[in-house]
Structure 1
Amino acid sequence: MSSKPDKVYIEIIKEINQIIHNDQLKSGDKLPSERELSDRLQVGRSSVREGLRALELLDLIETRRGEGTFIKKGGSYRLVDVILSFILTDEKARKDLSETRKIVELEALRLACDRIKPGQLEELRSLIKRSKQEWGHGDFPVEEDYLFHKTIVESSQNQLLLHLWIPLVEYNKVAIKASLQREGRPLISIAEHEEIYEALVAGDKSRALNSLEYHLENSRF
Structure 2
Amino acid sequence: MSSQQDKVYIEIIRELNHIIQEDELTNGDKLPSERELSERLNVGRSSVREALRSLELLDLIETRRGEGTFIKSIGGHRLVEVLASFFLREKKARNDLAETRKIVEIEGLRLACERIDQTKLDKLAFLIVQSKISWENGEFPVEEDYLFHKTIVEACHNRLLLNIWISLVEYSKVALRESLSREGRPEQSILEHEQIYAAIKNRDEKQAIIALKTHLENSRF
Alignment of 1:55-204 (within 5 A): 87-204=87-204
Tell whether the 8 Å contact from 1:38 to 1:45 is kept in structure 2 after alignment: no
Instruction: Please name the residue that 1:44 is paired with.
Output: 72
Tell whether the 8 Å contact from 2:33 to 2:69 is kept in structure 1 after alignment: no
Tell whether the 8 Å contact from 1:179 to 1:219 is kept in structure 2 after alignment: yes
Which TM-score applies when normalising by structure 2?
Answer: 0.68
Q: Offset of 1:171 from its aligned partner?
A: 2.5
Instruction: Please name the residue that 2:57 is paired with.
Output: none
Which TM-score applies when normalising by structure 1?
Answer: 0.68
Cα distance in 2 for residues equivalent to 1:21 and 1:116: 45
SS class of match (2:140): coil
SS class of match (2:74): helix
Q: Offset of 1:85 from its aligned partner?
A: 11
Which runs of 5 or more residues in structure 1 are unaligned? Answer: 1-10, 27-36, 55-82
Q: Offset of 1:167 from its aligned partner?
A: 1.4
The one-character-per-residue Cα deviations of 1:165-204 (angstroms, maximum 9, x if unpaired) are: 0011122312111110000000000000000000011111
SS class of match (1:171): helix
The one-character-per-residue Cα deviations of 1:18-42 (angstroms, maximum 9, x if unpaired) are: 836832799xxxxxxxxxx621669
Instruction: Please name the residue that 1:22 is paired with.
Output: 35
Larger Rg: 2
Q: Identity percentage over the alignment?
A: 50
Name the amino acid aligned to 2:62. S
- Work out the number of aligned pairs and report it: 171
Tell whether the 8 Å contact from 1:113 to 1:205 is kept in structure 2 after alignment: yes
Tell whether the 8 Å contact from 1:154 to 1:162 is kept in structure 2 after alignment: yes
Which runs of 5 or more residues in structure 2 are unaligned? Answer: 1-11, 20-30, 41-60
CA RMSD of the aligned region, Å? 3.0
SS class of match (2:143): helix
Cα distance in 1 for residues equivalent to 2:90 and 2:152: 28
The one-character-per-residue Cα deviations of 1:88-139 (angstroms, maximum 9, x if unpaired) are: 2411011000000000000000000000010000000000000000000011
